[in-house]
Chains A and B, each alone.
Chain A
């Protein structure tokens, strides 16, 4: 055997040194032979049957095994359709494939791609390969590879990993990796260690931690199974029928274990009756009369008396049978002491978890509130300050988002393009707002209902225009890389950076709004012109100009909001319509004409929606419905919103 191997290696050397052309496919290298041995399984590429092949490769001790596994995992391995020989391949131009030998990895020429088939291990198999590679990679000089090994263990731990991991901790040089290894070792100890004491110690060592992987290690340990017996076995926890367990479920458990006859449900009863039909009668009763449940039960009872069918199991029968048994839960995941330790640890975690979940929910609510606020702030200006109902506000949001999309078409750098898109979106929607104010709204200041309808006309026209230009498919608006990912506080509390950015943007707008309104000449004039236009005009303020600028300002902010919303969600022609009703609600609930009211309104609407979602996690639509209902009721009882303006301003 050894001789054979040596000869093969020698042959390999010869071949390589001769650097033979493409035809020199090595079919008898040890690694190729091993692969051939599992040829059908590898080609089939199914997790169910691939296990032995991966194990054989990993345990073969061949120097090429690691490389083969790694490149197989990276979808680099191909096989020749005719011969079934494996090679590494790289796609070349013109439908060709550059081939490399699986043994040694040297280039052996090119071939048409058609005659080869790529191996595409699915992510299940890739996980298995990664798991098998752990033993090679844990002590790899490259820290990235070591990291990969740790990730593989985290995803798909096996009992054998524990020993390898323990051996690798001491020699680890990288401090961060060492800590990670140490933590992983404790987790694996909980799951796989032999000694109960060791496992309990590991469990107790984690006190205060509430990460998902710890819970994932602990939860299987406390798994129980519902069982039934004549008397309670040792270490089991009894379950009372009627409290933790419904009588029906308990009886079903008995029937499943053949400890009691099954209950006669209407279907079985019906089937039994049909089986006993005799001409047009069953047990002497006309079939045609059996159109009520009572009549059927009576016939069944008659049949049961004659022994043709098993007797009816009544509710009393069930009750008496149940009394004869005890139902209990027994630990199945771990020995009782370990399970109890895990249970205590989980109880500890649970209390802290509830706390974290509340914080996370609050963060979600806050984030949604900031999105609503951002969408509504432009409206707070045009509707709140000027009293103009602008149904096209949503379309200004959409215009802003599309501006962002168009900018990204021309400026590929995401950071730069967003920095460009924000002022551009403001400019575009500012201009659109001014145009609309000049052409339409100016003529309708005294006819608010008609403003509503006219701006609605503008809204549907703009929406359709966007569809004609950009199509109805969602367009990509991609956030710069530094906004990818989330701020993770622990495994429960996490919020994506993009949402934080939106939150910050909302705060900036709030400050900007307050600054412009309270600290600038424009703001003073705006307030004057809206409170009493005639008086303002006589003081030398040009109300036309002020109205135009105010409307443009509100629209411009909507445009920037559009960029932000497009970044976190989608850019479609209908995105504006999604926000318009909510935005109006936000402004109205908060109290028209007061930015703090809008802020409160957004907070109320956002947290309320998240709160309802939390109560009914399987149906988000219901949350939206109930939120709107709540708002309708709220407005009925507080028609002027949370912060109602008092005095004359309220009449404006």
Chain B
């Protein structure tokens, strides 16, 4: 991509990706707006719980970006990215719990007649953390929990390594298409079942809780913490967007799109398809891990149910509804569906009285979501993002004829002829 000699002079990145500039601009305005309206540093129109919801939504947008990269651009329908998201949350959660509990234990042991030994402190922390699940010893998995840098490294490394190993095995055996989807789903299921066990050492079904309380920051009100996390999430989303935009631009981007459209041809052209796929799979797993690490301190609790296969399918749903194969589509889809979902299940949506039957959205929202999803795949494969094409009058060629690639959104016969 830096080989300027062979390619014609290129315009600046910004000019080639006007949507990235617009997106960053909107995100910045949004962040400033929320800051002004929130309780932490602003006038307090927006409640802290809503700021948290918005912050979490930004994290979901980030993981949706990753999903779009891996699915919309590279054609790998991974049903495992929420697992990486969860791993990121667990990694940061371990440090948050450890550090918070350490302070409590040290304070309480300071009053004891004898100064505590390191072993006593460690035992005390373990008893506090694992007393809930009937254990009192640290499992080996907590070996680095005392150190923030190491756990932050784990946020990136554990999802990355897992994706690397899993992807290497899967792509090497040429597992593709729906088989890969099912395989990633199985991985997610195995991980969530594993975490559900108490023996996993991560507090089983209870998971890690109280994550919203930052260690040693007991005096800082949640209104401030929430806005800080909101900023961090916005920053991460902005950077993630720029990085994704950069990855999908240029030759590299063309290759991964080509892999999506026809893997075999790209292989025959001499590209190492597996290496490209592995790179995308791993990098998106890392992004998902980071998004999770920002999400769960705002949610306050992480437990294995968050990693259940259904979460990853919902992720695909968001991206599809938003419009895959375009980065802003993923962001729109995630934000739109998750906020709408909150609104409907929150009981705020008014019931519809049909005379004989009252439609309560709490009960019917999931059905609406499921059916709208069928509708989107059938009638609007380009999702909400497709609307922007209409606005920009940048209409795609009339798409008739067979798909050339294995997936919708691929070029079709007529198109290729042009």
Instruction: Give chain B nearest CB distance to A65 CB in angstroms.
Output: 50
A270 in contact with B370 (CB, 8 Å): no
Instruction: Give chain B nearest CB distance to A308 CB in angstroms.
Output: 16
Measured CB to CB, the nearest residue on chain A to B319 is A453
Residue B243 CB within 8 A of the other chain: no
Residue B351 CB within 8 A of the other chain: no
Measured CB to CB, the nearest residue on chain B to A465 is B367
Selecting from B24-32, B108-116, B282-290, B333-341, the interface stretch reads: B108-116
Residue A631 CB within 8 A of the other chain: yes
A456 in contact with B373 (CB, 8 Å): yes
B114 in contact with A457 (CB, 8 Å): no
Residue A66 CB within 8 A of the other chain: no
Selecting from B33-41, B97-105, B168-176, the interface stretch reads: B168-176
Residue A181 CB within 8 A of the other chain: no
Report which of B185, B190, B403 forms a contact with A625, defined as CB distance below 8 A: B190
A447 in contact with B408 (CB, 8 Å): yes
A457 in contact with B179 (CB, 8 Å): no
Selecting from A43-51, A212-220, A616-624, the interface stretch reads: A616-624
Residue A628 CB within 8 A of the other chain: yes
Q: Complex formed: what's the CA distance from A639 to B177 in Å?
A: 12
B373 in contact with A457 (CB, 8 Å): yes
B378 in contact with A444 (CB, 8 Å): yes
A625 in contact with B197 (CB, 8 Å): yes
Residue A419 CB within 8 A of the other chain: no
Q: Complex formed: what's the CA distance from A290 to B403 in Å?
A: 76
Instruction: Give chain A nearest CB distance to B229 CB in angstroms.
Output: 30
A457 in contact with B374 (CB, 8 Å): yes
A291 in contact with B116 (CB, 8 Å): yes
Q: Which residues of the other chain, B, contact A462 by a CB distance below 8 angstroms?
A: 370
Measured CB to CB, the nearest residue on chain A to B169 is A636
Report which of A454, A461, A639 forms a contact with B367, defined as CB distance below 8 A: A461
Instruction: Give chain A nearest CB distance to B367 CB in angstroms.
Output: 5
Measured CB to CB, the nearest residue on chain B to A299 is B114
Measured CB to CB, the nearest residue on chain B to A462 is B370
Q: Complex formed: what's the CA distance from A94 to B115 in Å?
A: 72
Q: Which residues of the other chain, A, contact B313 by a CB distance below 8 angstroms?
A: 453, 456
Q: Complex formed: what's the CA distance from A639 to B407 in Å?
A: 21
B317 in contact with A453 (CB, 8 Å): yes
Q: Which residues of the other chain, A, contact B118 by a CB distance below 8 angstroms?
A: 291-292
Q: Residue-by-residue, is A622-642 near B (CB-CB < 8 Å gives 1, otherwise 0)?
A: 101100110111011101000
Measured CB to CB, the nearest residue on chain A to B369 is A460
Residue A268 CB within 8 A of the other chain: no
Q: Complex formed: what's the CA distance from A458 to B189 in Å?
A: 21
Q: Which residues of the other chain, A, contact B364 by a CB distance below 8 angstroms?
A: 464, 468
Q: Residue-by-residue, is B376-417 near A (CB-CB < 8 Å gives 1, otherwise 0)?
A: 011001000000000000000000001100111000000000
Selecting from A23-31, A365-373, A581-589, the interface stretch reads: A581-589
Instruction: Give chain A nearest CB distance to B82 CB in angstroms.
Output: 14
Instruction: Give chain A nearest CB distance to B306 CB in angstroms.
Output: 17
Q: Residue-by-residue, is B223-247 near A (CB-CB < 8 Å gives 1, otherwise 0)?
A: 0000000000000000000000000
Q: Which residues of the other chain, B, contact A453 by a CB distance below 8 angstroms?
A: 77, 313, 316-317, 320, 373, 377
Q: Complex formed: what's the CA distance from A624 to B118 in Å?
A: 38
Q: Residue-by-residue, is B202-226 near A (CB-CB < 8 Å gives 1, otherwise 0)?
A: 0000000000000000000000000
Residue A277 CB within 8 A of the other chain: yes
Instruction: Give chain A nearest CB distance to B120 CB in angstroms.
Output: 8
Q: Which residues of the other chain, A, contact B172 by a CB distance below 8 angstroms?
A: 636
Residue A252 CB within 8 A of the other chain: no
B178 in contact with A447 (CB, 8 Å): no
Q: A291-B117, A581-B186 are in contact. Are A461 and B377 (CB under 8 A)?
A: no
Residue B279 CB within 8 A of the other chain: no
Q: Which residues of the other chain, B, contact A639 by a CB distance below 8 angstroms?
A: 173-175, 179
Interface CB pairs A-B, < 8 A, 25: A270-B114, A274-B114, A287-B113, A287-B115, A444-B377, A447-B403, A449-B178, A449-B406, A452-B178, A453-B77, A453-B313, A453-B377, A457-B317, A457-B370, A457-B374, A460-B369, A460-B370, A461-B371, A585-B182, A621-B197, A624-B193, A625-B190, A631-B186, A635-B175, A636-B175
- Measured CB to CB, the residues of A under 8 A from B are 266, 270, 273-274, 277, 287-293, 296, 389, 440, 443-444, 446-450, 452-454, 456-465, 467-468, 581, 584-585, 588, 619, 621-622, 624-625, 628-629, 631-633, 635-637, 639
Q: A457-B371, A622-B199 are in contact. List 5 more A-B contacts (CB 8 A).
A: A296-B114, A450-B407, A581-B309, A622-B197, A635-B175
